Chain A
Amino acid sequence: MTYRLGVDIGGTFTDFALVDDDTGALSIHKQLTTPRAPSESVLTGLAALLERTGVGVTDITAIAHGTTLVTNAVVERRGAVTGMLVTKGYRDSLDIAMERRFDLFDLRLEFADPVVPRALRVEIEERVMYDGAASTPLDETEVDAATIKLVEEHGIEALAICFLHSYANSDHEERAREIVAARYPELRVTTSSEVLPFMREYERWSTTTVNAYVRPLTDRYLRDLETGLTTMGFTGRLLVMTASGGMVTPAIARRFPVRLIESGPAAGALMAAFLGERLGEPNLLSFDMGGTTAKGALIRDGRPLRRYEFEVAREYEFKQGSGLPLRIPVIDMIEIGAGGGSIAAVDDRNLLAVGPRSAGADPGPACYGQGGDQATLTDANLALGYLVPDAFLGGRMVLDQPAAERVIGATIAKTLGVEVTRAAWGIHEVINEDVARAFRVHASEIGFDYRRCAMIAFGGSGPAHAIRVARKLRIPKVIFPVGAGVMSAIGLLTTPISYATLRSGRILLDGLDEPGLEAGFEPVERQALELLGEAGVPEEAIAMERRLDMRFHGQGHEVEVALPEDFQLAGLSNLFHRTYAQVFAATPLNTAIEIVNWKIEASGPRPDFADSYRPFSGPRASRAAVRSVQAYRDDKAGFSAWPVIDRYTLGQGGSVDGPALIQEDEATTVLGPGERVEVDALGNLVAILTPTGDSP
């Protein structure tokens, strides 16, 4: 008997998913996260899970791990004292940033501070030109002296080396690293060309400095975790999830910890893609809504869309532009400040607004009875009858419905001059609209047709909103997977070891020949093969995908073109034109085409989890008596009695006709009148929606 374990450290809970390799049987566990020493909650939770299931630690062959540690360290500024060596004349690049206001009408904008303060950035005499030629040699004495000063006077633990045009020629950065290493072998050094050889100095250096900033802490964390697991007797392999949805070894994670940012939600999207593949739904919207935020991802042809842009530590009302930009490969996630804890208020317009501020877990929504005095989405859902007061979190918490109604009445309904129920409905519906809008806007940004997709809804609050969101988007099918509360932990088990990266290199398509094409990919492919080799993946088992960012000469936006296996250079121009027409819904121009970025993704073999995954062990006896609640349909139909169904009693081929609430430990699925779900072979609930009018 062998097992595999997925462990996802979230802000509140650490989730565990243990899968039996032979039967595919799934055991799950939730443990409160210990933010100060996150490895502790992993080790404690693992011990509890092993005890409960009777599985021996030596039977676990692999642990796949995702963590919010790195994200939190940047947000809470708990990283190391970090220095920066930078090309002469460019010390202020991190402060000058984008020279842009992220809101034109709000004058009181605040921006995230760089992780390296101005006093710890030292300029170095050196210069590489745009074509890669070194016009000023590296002043090696200056590098040495600057490092000594940073270490001895400022006590830096980490150093970022950031020189101009290092994507075209990294010699100076590498030489500087050697000099530093000779002087301080223990100092953790990150160069901008190794993190991502991407053309745009501010974003590359922002990424590089954040990577340096979180290295010491990631190092300590992984060491503690590995030691703890070894002490417990674990002899299998530990892998760490990255934001792009690929697994890396702890060694790679230690070198590029910036890539671990936002890996938890990425795993959820991967799980959605994996399920979609099992269910024959290659095009999907993954909708994950929890306590503070909702996350969406678009999945095309079985793959979550990716990009090389992320922003961490948004300083001002979660607004895009107020954080630190990172250029790392990430699954393209939509993040909305909408979750169960989102606070409702009357805004400057004298209208209802919900989120992005959240009541969090403490004090939490008013109905938690912990002193929350602001109306939240959870309060509204409770007032509408979409939550069963004594079945929340598997009955571990009893919700106070009168308190929810009182606070909605006092803070919202009275100000707006409407009934409490109408206000609660407004809160519920505003969130549906916000989520639908975010999907719509993002789909239009990237040219994605969601109307032929299915939605997969999970997270603590997702299933309560999914059908109404889907209706707004005219999505015909919604899937509620088993284990909605631990999707990320399961998702960790579906993903292979992989490494994605890119380099910038501008070249006109007309001037490109086959050797030029190969040369363009060579540096990034070499790096990826080396890293996967270190991780023990044999070269013949590595699948290499190539993509190019291309554009019309003079245009600012690039189109990503995936190169098929049987790719011919002669067909590239056509391939670009086709993709362009698809993405922009516009006729391609008769203008020269250029390549801007060279992207690769190298992957090892996929875990065979895919074939054994059978989370559904058949229906269980109901733990709660079948009963009903008064729930709200809309302002015409008002309240009526809706049955509450225990999800765990539903067997394969079973079905539920709405109106109904389908209750499971971590979530409630809201099924309106006339709607129906069926239980599929994996235990998922599947709703087929027929278009109807909506009432505002």
Chain B
Amino acid sequence: MTSYDPVSLKILWDRLVAIADELVLSLVRTSFSMNVREGYDLSCMIFDAQARLLTQGSYSVPSFTGTAPRTIAHMLKVFPAETLKPGDIVMTNDPWMGTGHLFDINVMRPVFKGGRLVGFTMSVTHLPDIGGKGISSDCTEIYHEGLRLPVCKLRDNGVMNELLLDIIRINVRVPDQTVGDLLANVACNEVGGRSLLEFMEEYGLEEIESLSDAVNDHAEAAMRERIAEIPDGTYENSIQIEGPGHPITLTATVRIAGPDVFIDFTGTGEPVRASINVPFCYTIAQSNYVIKCLTIPSLPNNEGSMRPITVTAPENCVLNALSPWPTGGRHSVGHFVVPLLMGALAPALPDKVQADAAMMNIFSVQGRHRDGEEITSLFFLAGGLGAMQGLDGRAVTPAPSNMTVMPTEIWENRTSITIEKREILADTGGAGQWRGGPGQEVVFRNDTRHLLEIALMGQRTEFPAKGLAGGGEGARRHYEVNGLTVDPKARIELAPGDRITMREAGGGGYGDPAERDAKAALVDRMSGYVTEL
């Protein structure tokens, strides 16, 4: 076993992160999936020979924070490490083993050095399609949602499983793109393996387990040091969110005990007959994400950085839904783990937590372009961010996941649906010493000359983004068609010439509004963010 002083550790560790980052970038470049390209809905990881996570690429959405060690454990249960050969590629999209829904494919490749297994690489990306109904509110079982692949070998000892590829092709709407993205994952892992070997060669390493020990122990120590600074205690929070026809309760108890964090979701409601149930892996990822944001945001994810965090949830609550509950849109419930835990920890970490964000409005559009081409796509609009101690919430910014706005000019070219207006909505950010971020109003006009179908899945139409420490709540989300209010969870039809107006919610404020700095208040009024006195 080799030992590493802080200087070597820093250099070698950062190099590993850089390798993972390189993989992420090359995958983004080749991907067909909009979620991957615009939202970094992907991740790349490097493991040591004991399948311990050494590093994860720096760019990826919170849903992937620290899920990979469990995924690889599932894979190695089916194909034990000692049976793997160079040229093997193992994969699965099982929501309970991977990252929570069928769209995400997890692709793993063992790395051999001179015939000896030295580590693994893995990539996860959101595929362009996986068949079935995808993310749709009328799925009631996982079987509606598409093709589910158990842990399987896409390539065995260098031989591609063509039958498996054919099965995928015949089950999806865009076979070229889906298989293209799948093969891009394979290529990315090949490059990752090569880079890992070059790294070992450059530094004269025969194994990376000692380095893995050093990296993981160091990360764990750094995390524990920071967690120990949080006042010990048990912190609770319970929120309501909008479910299909009835509210869902999410409850969390966070116990800080010295250098450990225990998070438990007892008290959370049952799974629902809609594709918004959350497999436990996803709940863990969001929990890890919150603790990371509140402790050392810049710490690269690895096994050690997650060791101090223990997450539990009763079986078959909505945050630990078991098969065959549908999970396609697990983010629309799972994202609320972030404000739930931030709210719980607000008394302990008043200068670190963020008030509730307005969340994203994700909706799907189906119809035809004026030129006849089919339109079927998901779109995103952000509401306002929550405020923090010392920082106003930014207007129109997504959280906790990320997306890039679709420019009007691109949208209109692609859909021929006109966007008449995108305006920041005054008075929608929660009041506070620090103001919540305002939402926006977006008006679409159906100029396609065809009927359009829009599936709405809006949250925060009933339960607004709450403020913290006396801050006010943000305005609610609201939808209208031709001036008439519509059900925010409905599938609606838009006739040619019809308009739909989406008013995106505002983020919560932080602190007592009476304490707001006079100059900041003046700037609010001058810019028009606030009109009420």
Q: Is B527 an interface residue (CB 8 A)?
A: yes
Q: Which of A270-278, A388-396, A439-447, A487-495 contacts B (4 or more CB under 8 A)?
A: A439-447
- Taking a contact as CB atoms under 8 Å apart, the answer to whether A351 and B180 are in contact is no
Q: Do A96 and B218 contact each other (CB < 8 Å), given the known contacts A105-B297, A108-B391, A441-B21?
A: no
Distance between B291 CB and nearest chain A CB, rounded to angstroms: 11
A352 contact from B10, B176, B225, B382, Cβ within 8 A: B10
- Taking a contact as CB atoms under 8 Å apart, the answer to whether B6 and A91 are in contact is no
Q: Is A422 an interface residue (CB 8 A)?
A: yes
Q: Which of B118-126, B238-246, B411-419 contacts A (4 or more CB under 8 A)?
A: B411-419
Q: Is B14 an interface residue (CB 8 A)?
A: yes
- Taking a contact as CB atoms under 8 Å apart, the answer to whether B187 and A585 are in contact is yes
B404 contact from A89, A100, A110, A417, Cβ within 8 A: A100
Q: Is A53 an interface residue (CB 8 A)?
A: no
Q: Is A589 an interface residue (CB 8 A)?
A: yes
Q: What does DSSP make chain A's interface, helix, strand, loop or mixed?
A: loop
CB-defined contacts of A232 to chain B, threshold 8 Å: none
Q: Is A164 an interface residue (CB 8 A)?
A: yes
CB-defined contacts of A445 to chain B, threshold 8 Å: 25-26, 29
A95 contact from B7, B293, B396, B419, Cβ within 8 A: B396
Query: Size band of the A side of the interface?
Result: 35 or more
Q: Do A117 and B527 contact each other (CB < 8 Å), given the known contacts A89-B420, A104-B402, A433-B15?
A: yes
Q: Is B18 an interface residue (CB 8 A)?
A: yes
Q: Do A554 and B32 contact each other (CB < 8 Å), given the known contacts A350-B218, A696-B203?
A: yes
Q: Is B78 an interface residue (CB 8 A)?
A: no
CB-defined contacts of A165 to chain B, threshold 8 Å: 409, 412
Q: Which of A72-80, A279-287, A424-432 contacts B (4 or more CB under 8 A)?
A: A424-432
Q: What is the bound-complex CA distance between A117 and B218, given in angstroms?
A: 46
Q: Which chain B residues (180-214) contact chain A, with CB distance < 8 Å?
A: 180, 183-184, 187, 202-204
Q: Which of B89-97, B421-429, B449-457 contacts A (4 or more CB under 8 A)?
A: B421-429
- Taking a contact as CB atoms under 8 Å apart, the answer to whether B408 and A201 are in contact is yes
Residues 19-49 of B, flagged 1 when their CB comes within 8 A of A and 0 if not, give 0011001100111101001100000000000
Q: Is B310 an interface residue (CB 8 A)?
A: no
- Taking a contact as CB atoms under 8 Å apart, the answer to whether A96 and B22 are in contact is no
Q: Is A202 an interface residue (CB 8 A)?
A: yes
Q: Is A423 an interface residue (CB 8 A)?
A: yes
Residues 202-221 of A, flagged 1 when their CB comes within 8 A of B and 0 if not, give 11000000000000000000
Q: Do A119 and B526 contact each other (CB < 8 Å), given the known contacts A105-B297, A694-B202?
A: yes
CB-defined contacts of A472 to chain B, threshold 8 Å: 202
Q: Is B231 an interface residue (CB 8 A)?
A: no
Q: What is the bound-complex CA distance between A423 and B62, given in angstroms?
A: 34
Residues 554-565 of A, flagged 1 when their CB comes within 8 A of B and 0 if not, give 111100000000
Q: Do A347 and B298 contact each other (CB < 8 Å), given the known contacts A352-B10, A437-B14, A444-B22?
A: yes
Q: What is the bound-complex CA distance between A444 and B28, given in angstroms?
A: 11
Residues 321-358 of A, flagged 1 when their CB comes within 8 A of B and 0 if not, give 00000000000000000000000000111111100000
- Taking a contact as CB atoms under 8 Å apart, the answer to whether B527 and A426 are in contact is no
Distance between A191 CB and nearest chain B CB, rounded to angstroms: 16
B296 contact from A111, A349, A422, A555, Cβ within 8 A: A349
Q: Is B11 an interface residue (CB 8 A)?
A: yes
- Taking a contact as CB atoms under 8 Å apart, the answer to whether A589 and B180 are in contact is yes
Total interface residues on B, CB under 8 Å, equals: 90
Name the residue on A nearest B205 (C-beta).
A696
- Taking a contact as CB atoms under 8 Å apart, the answer to whether B187 and A556 are in contact is no
Q: What is the bound-complex CA distance between A433 and B204, given in angstroms?
A: 17
CB-defined contacts of A452 to chain B, threshold 8 Å: none
- Taking a contact as CB atoms under 8 Å apart, the answer to whether B7 and A416 are in contact is yes
- Taking a contact as CB atoms under 8 Å apart, the answer to whether B424 and A92 are in contact is yes
- Taking a contact as CB atoms under 8 Å apart, the answer to whether B219 and A130 are in contact is no
Q: Is A183 an interface residue (CB 8 A)?
A: no
- Taking a contact as CB atoms under 8 Å apart, the answer to whether A693 and B202 are in contact is yes
Q: Is A541 an interface residue (CB 8 A)?
A: no
Distance between B507 CB and nearest chain A CB, rounded to angstroms: 12
Q: Do A418 and B5 contact each other (CB < 8 Å), given the known contacts A105-B293, A117-B527, A348-B222?
A: yes
Distance between B189 CB and nearest chain A CB, rounded to angstroms: 13
Q: Is A109 an interface residue (CB 8 A)?
A: yes
- Taking a contact as CB atoms under 8 Å apart, the answer to whether B298 and A556 are in contact is no
Residues 97-121 of A, flagged 1 when their CB comes within 8 A of B and 0 if not, give 1111101111111110000011100
Q: Do A200 and B176 contact each other (CB < 8 Å), given the known contacts A100-B398, A104-B62, A433-B14?
A: no
Q: What is the bound-complex CA distance between A560 and B404, given in angstroms?
A: 22
Name the residue on B nearest A103 (C-beta).
B297
CB-defined contacts of B408 to chain A, threshold 8 Å: 90, 164, 201
- Taking a contact as CB atoms under 8 Å apart, the answer to whether A99 and B403 are in contact is yes
Q: What is the bound-complex CA distance between A422 and B399, given in angstroms?
A: 42
CB-defined contacts of B396 to chain A, threshold 8 Å: 95-96, 99
B25 contact from A97, A99, A418, A444, Cβ within 8 A: A444
Q: What is the bound-complex CA distance between A108 and B399, given in angstroms?
A: 13
- Taking a contact as CB atoms under 8 Å apart, the answer to whether A130 and B422 are in contact is no
A130 contact from B9, B183, B412, Cβ within 8 A: B412
CB-defined contacts of A130 to chain B, threshold 8 Å: 409, 412-413, 416
Q: Is A129 an interface residue (CB 8 A)?
A: yes
- Taking a contact as CB atoms under 8 Å apart, the answer to whether B423 and A92 are in contact is yes
Q: Is A145 an interface residue (CB 8 A)?
A: no
Residues 665-677 of A, flagged 1 when their CB comes within 8 A of B and 0 if not, give 0000000000000
Distance between A430 CB and nearest chain B CB, rounded to angstroms: 7
Q: Do A586 and B30 contact each other (CB < 8 Å), given the known contacts A101-B397, A422-B5?
A: yes
Distance between B433 CB and nearest chain A CB, rounded to angstroms: 16
Name the residue on B nearest A167 (C-beta).
B409
Question: Mind listing 24 A-B residue pairs with CB under 8 Å?
Answer: A89-B423, A92-B423, A92-B440, A100-B398, A100-B403, A104-B60, A104-B61, A105-B292, A106-B298, A108-B388, A130-B416, A201-B407, A202-B405, A348-B298, A349-B219, A350-B221, A418-B7, A441-B21, A445-B29, A555-B32, A555-B177, A586-B183, A586-B184, A587-B183
What 12 additional pairs, Cβ within 8 angstroms, besides A418-B5, A693-B202? A89-B421, A99-B382, A99-B404, A105-B293, A109-B394, A349-B296, A349-B299, A429-B7, A437-B18, A444-B25, A472-B202, A556-B38
Q: Which 3 A-B pairs have the closest CB atoms?
A: A89-B421, A426-B7, A99-B405
Q: Which residues of B contact A (CB under 8 A)?
A: 4-15, 18, 21-22, 25-26, 29-32, 34, 37-38, 60-62, 174, 176-177, 180, 183-184, 187, 202-204, 218-219, 221-222, 225-226, 289, 292-293, 296-299, 352, 354, 380-382, 388, 390-391, 394-405, 407-410, 412-413, 416, 418-424, 440, 443, 447, 526-528
